[in-house]
Amino acid sequence: MDHDPIPMPNPTRHLTTYPRFLWRAAGLATDGGLRFYAWMTVLTCIALVGAHAWAIQVRDGLAVTGMSDHVSWGLYIANFTFTVGVAAAAVMMVIPAYLYHDHEMHDAVIVGELLAIAAIVMCLLSVTVDLGRPDRFWHLMPGFGRFNWPMSMLTWDVLVLNGYLLLNLHICGYLIYSRYCGQRPDPRWYLPFVFLSIVWAFSIHTVTAFLYCGLGGRPFWNSAVLAPRFLASAFVAGPSLIILAILALRQLGAYPLGDRPVKLLVKIIQVTALINLFLLACELFTIFYTGGAHLASAHYLFFGMHGHYGLVPWIWTAISLNVIACGLFLWSGTRRRIWLLVAACVMTVVGIWIEKGMGLIIPGFIPSTLHEIVEYRPSLIEWQITAGIWAAGLMVYTVLLKIAIPILNGRVRADLDHRPTPVEQATSITEITAPPAR
């Protein structure tokens, strides 16, 4: 992480260095080879399909989705719940790097923090497309709309998500700019924010869990272990995505990080995957052994009810993927076989996405408060919009990595980009040719 420091320009030079850094960053974000342009073209096409589908939804209303009066949250909120966890999982890289002074993890932290930024962008997009009237989004903005704080959990969610986004933007931006300038970062300008981000990462997923379990009319969510389950699953899926990103960068030769970050993340997943399965088992025991109001939704989810089996394949697929992936992570041979590690990470991400989405959000509405069973199936419009959100998030992540990696590698630096002005050049020549003082 640490390199020999290059003399930093004086403070007044930042007025010219920082605009040059932004201009250079814009160039890095749009410059690449054939694979980069092909990747961005595919993502752009998917994002445009999602934007077109959202335009249809705005024109015709939420009637084009599979949601109804009985199931008012669907694929968008399921995706929102998962991406919040991905954003919170960046703390799994921050803790060993800064709290335990593991300097080998510092560069890997940037990969995780940039993923958190992209995930928060996807969270905000998921909430935006779920609004029936997006033109009234300004009501969620403090100082402009009717921001019902502190009573509404939704307002707390708005605050913690936007606050976490700003924290990660500051931390990553400052560290990358310092590396660009060739100077060791000043701990006073980023270390307090790093420690604050650790607490904030736990808060964003805890508040999201409180948003659900605080609804007394939905007994399926009224569980004290919902927040711990959210955190445990987040600390499984998030590190899995970070491992996939590190392996992809290594395969492309863009940023060959060492084996230590991957090994550490695998160790984290080995623990959190077991905790996630244990909490799920505790929840299932409480529901099916004691019965109660939870039982109807859980019975519909796992076994179906009165001829309705819409969510049964989803939840058993999720549990199967999570159990198999957990076994692969615990087997020592997985770390020596990259394809097995990739398979375990992909199964984990898909399994957690289903478990926290279709397996948690949807059954909270079925049966309804009137004891009616109205099944929910995402429409094509919803799948297109969700795919567009993921494409937009991957585009953001790709652009951020394109900017960060050359600077972290040392290929792009202020002293390499800066060309001396005629006055500076004349001054330097004068200093060289001036006779030595006696």
The SS3 call for residue 282 is: helix
Q: What would the pLDDT profile of 235-262 be if each residue is shown by its tens digit?
A: 899 899 999 988 888 888 776 677 788 8
Quick one: tokens of 40? Answer: 């961005």
Mean pLDDT of the chain: 83
Q: What would the pLDDT profile of 161-207 be if each residue is shown by its tens digit?
A: 888 999 989 988 888 888 888 888 888 888 888 888 888 888 888 88
Would you list the DSSP string of 18-55? Answer: HHHHHHHHHHHHH---HHHHHHHHHHHHHHHHHHHHHH
- Percent over 70 (pLDDT), the chain: 87
Weakest-pLDDT range from 211-215, 235-239, 269-273: 211-215
Quote the pLDDT of residue 431. Answer: 37
Do the Cβ atoms of 356 and 233 come closer than 8 Å? yes
Q: How confident is the model at residue 416 (pLDDT cuts 50, 70, 90)?
A: low
Tell me: pLDDT of 308 over 90: no
Q: How confident is the model at residue 158 (pLDDT cuts 50, 70, 90)?
A: confident
Q: Which residue has the higher pLDDT, 432 or 203?
A: 203
Tell me: pLDDT of 7 over 50: no
Q: How far apart are CA 145 and CA 138, in angstroms?
A: 6
- Percent over 90 (pLDDT), the chain: 30
Weakest-pLDDT range from 146-150, 336-340, 422-426: 422-426
Q: How far apart are CA 330 and CA 323, in angstroms?
A: 11
Tell me: pLDDT of 332 over 90: no
Q: Which residue has the higher pLDDT, 188 or 400?
A: 400
Q: How confident is the model at residue 293 (pLDDT cuts 50, 70, 90)?
A: low
52: Cα within 13 Å, side-chain hemisphere: 8
Q: How far apart are CA 366 and CA 359, in angstroms?
A: 11
* Length reported for the chain: 438
Quote the pLDDT of residue 161. Answer: 87
Which is nearest to 251 in space by CA: 35, 21, 27, 5?
35
Q: Which residue has the higher pLDDT, 12 or 1?
A: 12
Quote the pLDDT of residue 10. Answer: 53
Q: How confident is the model at residue 39 (pLDDT cuts 50, 70, 90)?
A: very high
Q: How far apart are CA 70 and CA 365, in angstroms?
A: 7
Q: What would the pLDDT profile of 89-110 be if each residue is shown by its tens digit?
A: 877 777 777 766 766 677 778 8
Quote the pLDDT of residue 12. Answer: 60
Quick one: tokens of 218? Answer: 């939905």
Task: Kindly give the residue spans of alpha helices, DSSP state H, lying in 31-142.
Answer: 34-60, 75-88, 91-94, 106-130
Q: How far apart are CA 151 and CA 293, in angstroms?
A: 26
Quote the pLDDT of residue 142. Answer: 66
- The C-alpha torsion from 106 through 111 and 114 to 120, rounded to 10°, is -110
Tell me: pLDDT of 420 over 80: no
Q: What is the DSSP letter of 137?
A: G
Tell me: pLDDT of 391 over 80: yes
Domain ranges of the chain: 17-415
Quote the pLDDT of residue 77. Answer: 92
Amino acid at 16: T
Task: Give the residue-averaged pLDDT of 347-372.
Answer: 88
Q: Does domain 17-415 have CATH number 1.20.1630.10?
A: yes
Q: How far apart are CA 287 and CA 135, in angstroms?
A: 41
Q: Is 386 exposed, middle or buried (0-12, 13-18, 19+ CB in 10 A)?
A: buried
Would the CA dihedral through 236, 73, 398, 179 be positive or negative? negative
Output phi, psi for 268, to 5 deg.
-65, -45
Tell me: pLDDT of 46 over 80: yes
Q: How confident is the model at residue 395 (pLDDT cuts 50, 70, 90)?
A: very high
Quote the pLDDT of residue 350. Answer: 95
Quote the pLDDT of residue 104. Answer: 67
Q: How confident is the model at residue 398 (pLDDT cuts 50, 70, 90)?
A: very high
Tell me: pLDDT of 428 over 70: no
